Amino acid sequence: MAQNSLNDVQKIVVIGGSAGSLHVILHVLNHLKADLNIPVVIVLHRKNDSDSSLSQLMALRTDLPVKEVDDKEALIPGHVYLAPADYHLLIETNKIFSLDDSEKINFSRPSIDVTFQTAAEAYGAGVTGILLSGANADGVEGLEAIHSVKGIVAVQDPSTAQVPYMPQAAINHMQIDKLLNVDQISELINQL
């Protein structure tokens, strides 16, 4: 990355959620500030259908542009991106998305780990990874990758999660920087 400016670290927020996370994501979107200047990437385990109603539902909750990612789309600060159903979502080091329809990982496609790991490689310490409610262990390795590049690792407080297994798996496994209730998630993003 260019070293010509001291505060040149580009930032990104990556959010992963599974069972019980949709209402959390909608709540977070509702509270994002209008002049947010970093991209927000959401990976949600969901049924394998290619209709776009989920991104439309999300777009109702925020004035920020919300869109399901197309292949080779460039990441733009202040935009909210949703991983498409049935593809892994990867981030290239030149800050564009690419898609991959290889095998499921942790029984999931999109896999949270894949997006978190490639975000860590592309953005380094500029990454904030947030893992929400869910019933499987996807996302834990991704958070480790973010931790290893000195990004911020946050998980939803399991006591506030509809399905605590996924955030709890992260807590059992590694050092967490922030344990957040639902309101604190948008506060964290707005302060980045």
Partner 1 sequence: MDTPVGEQEIKLLLNDLLEIYGYDFTDYAKASLKRRINRLFTLDRFPSFAEFRYKLRTDADYMKRFIEQITVNVTEMFRDPLFYQNLREHVLPVLATYPFIRIWHAGCSTGEEVYSMAILLKEANLLHKSLLYATDLNPQVLQKASTGIFPMSQMKQYSENYIASGGKEDFSRYYTASYNVVKFDEELSRRMVFSTHNLVSESSFNQFQLVMCRNVLIYFEKDLQGRVFALFDDSLENLGFLALGSKETLKLSPIISKYRQEGKEKIWRKIH
Q: Residue numbers of the site for partner 1 (CB under 8 A)?
A: 50, 69-72, 84, 87-88, 90-93, 96, 98-103, 114, 117-118, 120-122, 145, 148-149
Q: How far is the CB of 183 from partner 1 (least distance, A)?
A: 31
Is residue 51 helix, strand or coil? coil
Residue placing its CB nearer to partner 1 in the complex, 41 or 90: 90
Q: List Cα–Cα distances, 31 to 14, 17, 61, 90, in angstroms.
A: 16, 18, 8, 26
Helix (H) or strand (E) segment spanning residue 12: strand 12-17
Nearest to 129 by CA among 118, 103, 158: 118
Nearest to 41 by CA among 50, 52, 28, 51: 28
Residue placing its CB nearer to partner 1 in the complex, 119 or 180: 119
Q: What angle do CA 116, 119, 124 make, to 5 degrees?
A: 115
Q: How far is the CB of 161 from partner 1 (least distance, A)?
A: 27
Positions annotated as catalytic residues are: 18, 45, 138
Residue placing its CB nearer to partner 1 in the complex, 19 or 99: 99
Q: How far is the CB of 114 from partner 1 (least distance, A)?
A: 7
